[in-house]
Amino acid sequence: MSTFVDDYPEESKIVQASLAVAFVALGIGAFFGLIQALHRTNVLRIFSSVDYYTLLTGHGVLLAIVFTIFFLVGLFTWAVTKSLDRPAPDIRLTWAWFGLMTTGATLVAVAILSGLFPSIPMSADVLYTFYAPLQAHPVFYIGLAMFIVGTWMAGADWFLAYREWRGENPGERIPLQTFMVLTTMIMWYIATLGVAVSVVVFLIPWSMGLVDSVNPLLTRTLFWYFGHPIVYFWLMPAYLLWYTVLPKLAGGRLFSDPLARVVFVLFLLLSTPVGIHHQYLDPGIAEGFKFIAMTNTMFLLLPSLLTAFTVVASMEHGARQRGGEGYLGWLGALPWRDPAFTGMALAGLMFAAGGFSGMVNAGMNINYLVHNTLWVPGHFHMTVGTAVALTMMAGTYWLLPQITGKKVYSRPIGLLQVVMWFVGMVFMSNAMHRGGLLGIPRRTAEPQYTNFDFVTAVGSIGEIRMQIALGGTLLFLSVVLFLFNVAATWADDRTETPVDDYLPEPLSGPSGSPVVLDNLALWTGIAIVLVVLAYTLPLASIIGDAGLFGSSGGFPATVTLDGLVRIIAGVMG
């Protein structure tokens, strides 16, 4: 029986190469994570507190940007090829974007790591959010720009494949996995415009000394315009696996294909006009704009709540097919020995908690309590650090046999590894959330502050620290086991065992659902209108207050109609 690697050997190479880069980044990034967890908690300090920020930048960039997005491009290449059942339109284009992304990521990593060596005149201690006033060496921004352009080309590759398919299949519904990839990429194109402008127009000229100053609030706002949708760019590959693979692993079928399409359309529409919820505490943005961002964010909960319903319903259907009974008794009938299933299910379970802490963040007034505290890293280690990362590791156990033709080296090690991740994260992120509520700051190597004691209602600061150190250690060990298992699989010889790569049809298929769901041009148009509505006034006001390049010193926090007219007149020349 043939599988993906036999049908599409060239595409398999790309998927394998993308995953390989992702896993190298995962290994290094996780190691930096261990160093930080032990440093912050004062358990073990092997680097100086000054180098902490270099390592923190490396940790964030390598894991949140390189690992996640390289996995994404590998997974999406597999998904588009498989669901359209046709090879890449031109494999040279495919290798070109892979090459560009890899070169860009390497430049970024070199710029960051050079910070550890005083003899090299290069550093990029700007954290993974890289907005001004922190400044990196130009190589960092140039690498970043290459990486992003590489993702744009990858998207073009998948759209070309879709266009060829459409030519031969007029009137047919877009296969679900391809639909997910295309909507995600449209969202990505819209979102990355913000960071592209920020990097190319402001940060690169500024880091090269071509302009003296930038408007920090403007680069921050452009960053967060992109910085929120990127979290869904990380999440959508996980959702693709939860919708199309997890139901099968559970022994059943996806509950509803149309509902899955609605969810991806909602993400396309709502992911971008919310970025200001990262800036509730920024002076210089009027409260009204923050309120609009909050309202949009609350609407954006809907697609994830729909996902919780659909995915759990599909799992329950699977469990009942396997003989599960009762209100909750069916849970026991799920295939808990399968690392791919268990990893994804635990990732989903933790996302329920991470989504809840996201709701807390999103409330404008409650945000004042948690912003810039350890609560926020607690939140994102549950979301990107578990919902996404654990799903990607679990998904690997399912994908690897298809793209290599080889059996996973050890399923028990896989199972141990995914459970260890979950347990480690329970310790670490729970303690981080609690620490944040006490006011322990994020992004500092010295969170203890002299002559100041954080007051705890339950437990103690020492206990919180120990949980973070223990959790961080378990997470690192889990990555070591994962990488070992993957490397051992790759190194094995291929045997003639059949690979189970069949994905069953959904219970409720796309045929009866409104055709408008597949109208990508319509959704793109609405998404752009929403972005224009949410961002025109705030950006005009920020530029009006302090100039495009931060020339004026003023910082009023409101925008008047009179002022707006002046700004628009100014922009029009």
Active site amino acids: 228, 232, 379-381, 442-443
- Measured CA to CA, the distance from residue 444 to residue 13 in angstroms comes to 41
By CB under 6 A, which span of 249-257, 361-369, 532-540, 550-558 interacts with ligand HAS? 361-369
Q: To which residue do tokens 């994905």 refer?
A: 503
Q: Does 313 bind ligand HAS (CB under 6 A)?
A: no
Q: Does 278 bind ligand HAS (CB under 6 A)?
A: yes
Least distance between ligand HAS and beta carbon 275 (Å): 10
Q: Does 355 bind ligand HAS (CB under 6 A)?
A: yes
**387 vs 400, which CB is nearer to ligand HAS?**
387
Written as one letter, the residue type at 515 is V
Q: Does 248 bind Cu ion (CB under 5 A)?
A: no
Among Cu ion, ligand HAS, none, partner that 23 touches (CB below 5 to 8 angstroms by kind): none
**31 vs 336, which CB is nearer to ligand HAS?**
336
List binders of ligand HAS among 101-160 (CB under 6 A).
Answer: 129
Tokens of residue 209, six digits: 């000394």
Q: Does 310 bind ligand HAS (CB under 6 A)?
A: no
Other CB atoms within 10 Å distance of the CB of residue 349: 14
Q: Are 279 and 219 in contact (CB under 8 A)?
A: no
- Measured CA to CA, the distance from residue 159 to residue 184 in angstroms comes to 12
Tokens of residue 27, six digits: 């290994």
Q: Out of 138, 348, 414, 510, which residue is the one contacting ligand HAS (CB under 6 A)?
A: 348
Q: Out of 359, 522, 557, 565, which residue is the one contacting ligand HAS (CB under 6 A)?
A: 359
Q: Are 236 and 71 in contact (CB under 8 A)?
A: no
Q: Does 506 bind ligand HAS (CB under 6 A)?
A: no
Q: Does 45 bind ligand HAS (CB under 6 A)?
A: no
Is 211 strand, coil or helix? Answer: coil
- Measured CA to CA, the distance from residue 116 to residue 122 in angstroms comes to 10
Q: Are 250 and 319 in contact (CB under 8 A)?
A: yes
Q: Out of 142, 185, 240, 384, which residue is the one contacting ligand HAS (CB under 6 A)?
A: 384
- Measured CA to CA, the distance from residue 442 to residue 439 in angstroms comes to 9
Tokens of residue 490, six digits: 């790759």
Q: What SS3 string covers 154-193?
A: HHHHHHHHHHHHHHHCCCCCCCHHHHHHHHHHHHHHHHHH
**111 vs 388, which CB is nearer to ligand HAS?**
388
Q: Are 377 and 354 in contact (CB under 8 A)?
A: no
Q: Which of 185, 226, 231 is nearest to 203 (CA)?
A: 226
**153 vs 349, which CB is nearer to ligand HAS?**
349
Instruction: Give the residue at shortest CB distance from Cu ion.
Output: 228
Q: Does 361 bind ligand HAS (CB under 6 A)?
A: yes
Q: Out of 147, 159, 226, 234, which residue is the one contacting ligand HAS (CB under 6 A)?
A: 234
- Sort 197 into a burial class: Cβ within 10 Å, 0-12 / 13-18 / 19+: middle
Q: Out of 358, 538, 544, 550, which residue is the one contacting ligand HAS (CB under 6 A)?
A: 358
Q: Out of 245, 345, 415, 499, which residue is the one contacting ligand HAS (CB under 6 A)?
A: 345
Q: Does 290 bind Cu ion (CB under 5 A)?
A: no
Q: What SS3 string covers 357-405?
A: HHHHHHCHHHHHHHCCECHHHHHHHHHHHHHHHHHHHHHHHHHHHHHHC
Among Cu ion, ligand HAS, none, partner that 571 touches (CB below 5 to 8 angstroms by kind): none
**26 vs 88, which CB is nearer to ligand HAS?**
26
Q: Out of 158, 159, 223, 351, which residue is the one contacting ligand HAS (CB under 6 A)?
A: 351
Least distance between ligand HAS and beta carbon 254 (Å): 12
Q: Out of 242, 289, 421, 427, which residue is the one contacting ligand HAS (CB under 6 A)?
A: 242
**128 vs 409, which CB is nearer to ligand HAS?**
128
Q: Does 272 bind ligand HAS (CB under 6 A)?
A: no
Q: Are 481 and 421 in contact (CB under 8 A)?
A: no
Q: Are 550 and 215 in contact (CB under 8 A)?
A: yes
Q: Does 228 bind Cu ion (CB under 5 A)?
A: yes
**178 vs 357, which CB is nearer to Cu ion?**
357
Q: Does 285 bind ligand HAS (CB under 6 A)?
A: no
Least distance between ligand HAS and beta carbon 314 (Å): 9
Residue 458, C-beta contacts closer than 8 angstroms, at least 6 positions apart? 434
441: which strand partners? 373
- Measured CA to CA, the distance from residue 66 to residue 236 in angstroms comes to 16
Least distance between ligand HAS and beta carbon 302 (Å): 9
Q: Out of 174, 191, 259, 362, which residue is the one contacting ligand HAS (CB under 6 A)?
A: 362
- Measured CA to CA, the distance from residue 484 to residue 489 in angstroms comes to 8
Terminal C-alpha separation, the chain: 66
Q: Does 260 bind ligand HAS (CB under 6 A)?
A: no
List binders of Cu ion among 411-470 (CB under 5 A).
Answer: none
Least distance between ligand HAS and beta carbon 493 (Å): 36
Q: Does 137 bind Cu ion (CB under 5 A)?
A: no
373 φ, ψ (degrees, to nearest 5): -105, 175
Q: Does 224 bind ligand HAS (CB under 6 A)?
A: no
How many H-runs (helices) and E-runs (strands) does the chain carry? 21, 0
Interacting residue ranges for Cu ion, rule: CB under 5 A = 228
Q: Interface with ligand HAS by CB under 6 A: which residues?
A: 129, 231, 234-235, 242, 277-278, 297, 300-301, 304-305, 307-308, 311-312, 315, 345, 348-349, 351-352, 355, 358-359, 361-362, 367, 371, 376, 379-380, 383-384, 388
